[in-house]
Amino acid sequence: MAGQDTNLREQVFQQIRGEIIAGHATPGSMYSVPSIAESLGTSTTPVREALLELVRLGLLEPHRNRGFRVTAPSVSEAHDIFEMREVLEVHAAAAVAKMTTKDISGLIPIADEIAAAVEGRNFRAYLMADRKFHYLLTAAAGNAILTETVFSLRDRMRFYGDDSDEGLERQRASVPEHYKIAELAMKGGERELATLLKRHIRAWEPLFMKAVTKGNKPRLSLV
């Protein structure tokens, strides 16, 4: 029973985190523990634990007798996240590029997944593959705390504007970038890799800031 609850908690956590990060669940949306538990045919315990973990990540906030509300990111918070991602991910990637022994051959197949997701206009698949790509690259540096910090920051981001023409164009532009990042990390192009990765991370920032500033509500059909 404990194992089943753990699996359900992870299932709920991953599903709702994905909805929030992708923009399906807009700021102010409410999640009800009893409703989710009923839809899954389970007890409320694993559902509540999953939502509390999302509170810890800053994606939800609890409201007594109402449920859990999706939080709204601020412009300053968004800017800080992009800034810290750039610093930490570039540091990790540069460390990987300098290594003589590294296991990052999996980057190319994941870049293929990213390309397929863009071709199919499947933003959920794009997000999942992009996350895998950056996790493999960052984790290869061998600093577990740095990796945990980076992905905690990524989990606080919301991808707004991705269904716009500019958002779709940014996804398409990122495809060759992922292949080039993989190539440079494997062959040891440290400086060129740092420059490209900075640009790659920051390229989403104008789209994100525009949406946050205007209070746009995402109208995703992709994720």
The predicted model scores a pTM of: 0.80
Q: What are phi and psi of 52, to 5 degrees?
A: -65, -35
Distance in angstroms (rounded) separating the CA atoms of residues 7 and 109: 28
pLDDT, one tens digit per residue, over 167-220 is 889 999 999 999 999 999 999 999 999 999 999 999 988 888 876 776 544 433
The three-class DSSP label of residue 153 is: helix
Distance in angstroms (rounded) separating the CA atoms of residues 18 and 159: 10
104: CATH: 1.20.120.530
* Number of domains observed in the structure of the chain: 2
For residues 187 and 162, the model is more confident at 187
The three-class DSSP label of residue 19 is: helix
Domain that holds residue 58: 2-70
Q: How much is the mean pLDDT over the chain?
A: 87
The residue written with tokens 């900075």 in the block is 198
Tell whether 222 is covered by a domain. Answer: no
pLDDT, one tens digit per residue, over 25-44 is 878 889 999 999 999 888 99
* pLDDT for res 186: 94
Distance set, CA 120 to CA 18, 117, 158 (Å): 19, 5, 21
Contacts (Cβ under 8 Å, ≥6 apart) of 84: 149, 153
62: CATH: 1.10.10.10
